[in-house]
Chains A and B, each alone.
Chain A
């Protein structure tokens, strides 16, 4: 009897602790999401809020998106940017982790310094690369000029602008993959490595058949995380190219921002945001699924 009432009071205490957070979370995430979905079914425009908040053509925005070449272009730009920069991050992060994976004081210190790009405010990263890509102040442009090889600014060149952004994004985020891979490498048991060495496996074989399978889960997770976060990339594009030249670097996130805050097409921008949210949800679900699956192994 006493134990039962203890259980009841314990549950009550936990509910009291949990309730405020769930209430606040609902108010700041569920409610806005609901509002976003509702607005996405209207042609809301803030220059005429009363006249444009109606549901006469609820799927109008979504139908329009399907035919909007600028939107479709933004999806293609987004995919190019995200996939290229995540691939570069995985390659650079993996290489760096393998290089730094040794018990030496110098390497530990180097590892710590490599954390800096990742924690920098994104706006400062954008500023750093604005300086690197602006010929008047960039030491790189200056050096190329001295060598007799002047190069025009990458961020105003339609063929190079997206790659310039992808490179800056990689610079900031390769340490994330590096950390995840280093953590996996440090948990790796020594026995299989020794056994392989005794059996005469060469370096490549050891990496391919023993180390790589061991760190693959870390690479997959790092890739998925960075993929989701790359859909949010905003300051780099805002500061470096502002979506240009033309619409060469206009990613979906940026296009949604322009539709809402430059053109005041709130209903249309909401439809774009709903699609992005759905994408983030699917990828998060994949991560939690994958994590659960990994647990069972």
Chain B
């Protein structure tokens, strides 16, 4: 914690040096210097970190607790995967798979439609550009209930209610906005001169895009895909309303547990832990890009 702090090293040296048995006053001075060298900022940060993450960690430990020791106070227990095992033997696995399928499909579709549009919006300065940008921003901001009511009515009549396809389409409402908004910032950072060189070599607009621009923005593309996936994976409101039994996603399954099996806390905690696991892993993997995505639209590019 304090190893790269020169003050701490000096204090440690003083303590370990020849003055070790030189009597009380010298020792106290070293101790005082040592205390002074403690980085209070780091200590405060770590204490706050522990306090903030406590509720999160509690959920995780609850999922690992054996059923007979659910309300035990001691944090020393033998972790058990029983609740995960019983969870995956039930219907939960199906909803987890459905979540995966819907999120992946919606991510793929929104990239397919949104990436060329984002590129055109970056390179083509036409008059309606600003208005389209505002449209995309409002789509990102709109309260889901405004879309849910017409979608529910339309799905009722078209038979898309309680289908995975129905969810994939609804998730485009926020995913397309994310792709168009974010990918513009990545495309804007690629100099146009590179594409012009490709034109001279006989590539068309989309040929140059595919061979030059797209490979250069691959990290941004990956990050955008992760964000789309996370937003679809995290959705609760649309899935709650537009599905019943066949196309339920994992977040809705958790709520069903809460309502019908409210006493099985370790099972519920295990379900919560499973649902957040991919998101937490993605956060660790693409941290800096994630930050950019979450704050998309808030910084003018």
Residues of A bordering B, CB below 8 Å: 6, 9-11, 13-18, 20-22, 24-25, 28-29, 31-33, 35-36, 39, 46, 96, 99-100, 102, 104-107, 110, 112-124, 127-132, 136-137, 139, 142, 171, 176, 179-180, 183, 221-222, 225, 228-229, 231-232, 234-235, 238-239, 253, 256-257, 260-261, 266, 269-270, 272-274, 276-277, 280-281, 283-285, 287-288, 291-292, 294-295
Q: Which residues of B contact A272 (CB under 8 A)?
A: 145
The answer to whether B276 touches A121 (Cβ under 8 A) is yes
- Of the candidates A102, A115, A130, A239, the one whose C-beta lies within 8 Å of that of B287 is A115
B291 at the interface (CB under 8 A from A): yes
Report Cα–Cα, A11/B126, bound state, in Å. Answer: 10
A146 to chain B, nearest CB (A): 9
Report Cα–Cα, A291/B297, bound state, in Å. Answer: 9
The answer to whether A287 touches B297 (Cβ under 8 A) is yes
Interface of B is mostly: helix
B193 at the interface (CB under 8 A from A): no
B146 at the interface (CB under 8 A from A): yes
The answer to whether A142 touches B73 (Cβ under 8 A) is yes
The answer to whether B173 touches A29 (Cβ under 8 A) is yes
- Assuming the contacts A20-B117, A22-B132, A171-B55, asked whether A29 and B143 have C-beta atoms less than 8 A apart, the reply is no
The answer to whether A115 touches B283 (Cβ under 8 A) is yes
B86 to chain A, nearest CB (A): 18
B234 to chain A, nearest CB (A): 4
A-contact 0/1 string along B133-163, CB 8 Å cutoff: 1111111011111111111111010000000
Q: Besides A36-B149, A128-B56, A137-B265, 9 other CB < 8 A contacts?
A: A14-B120, A120-B280, A127-B269, A176-B295, A183-B299, A235-B251, A238-B240, A239-B258, A287-B298
B255 at the interface (CB under 8 A from A): yes
- Of the candidates A105, A112, A280, the one whose C-beta lies within 8 Å of that of B138 is A280
The answer to whether A280 touches B283 (Cβ under 8 A) is no
Report Cα–Cα, A270/B150, bound state, in Å. Answer: 9
- Assuming the contacts A29-B139, A124-B275, A274-B146, asked whether A24 and B59 have C-beta atoms less than 8 A apart, the reply is no
Name the segment of B7-15, B30-38, B41-49, B88-96 touching the other chain.
Answer: B41-49
The answer to whether B268 touches A127 (Cβ under 8 A) is yes
Report Cα–Cα, A291/B279, bound state, in Å. Answer: 31
The answer to whether B48 touches A96 (Cβ under 8 A) is yes
Report Cα–Cα, A115/B142, bound state, in Å. Answer: 24
Report Cα–Cα, A115/B287, bound state, in Å. Answer: 8
- Of the candidates B119, B142, B199, the one whose C-beta lies within 8 Å of that of A17 is B119
The answer to whether A277 touches B143 (Cβ under 8 A) is yes
Report Cα–Cα, A98/B218, bound state, in Å. Answer: 34
Report Cα–Cα, A261/B237, bound state, in Å. Answer: 12
Q: Which residues of A contact B143 (CB under 8 A)?
A: 231-232, 253, 273, 276-277, 280
The answer to whether A122 touches B149 (Cβ under 8 A) is no
Can you list 23 A-B contacts (CB < 8 A)? A17-B116, A17-B206, A18-B120, A21-B116, A21-B117, A35-B150, A107-B45, A121-B279, A122-B251, A137-B70, A176-B294, A176-B295, A183-B299, A225-B297, A234-B144, A234-B236, A256-B145, A269-B145, A273-B145, A284-B134, A287-B297, A291-B300, A294-B300
The answer to whether B145 touches A253 (Cβ under 8 A) is yes
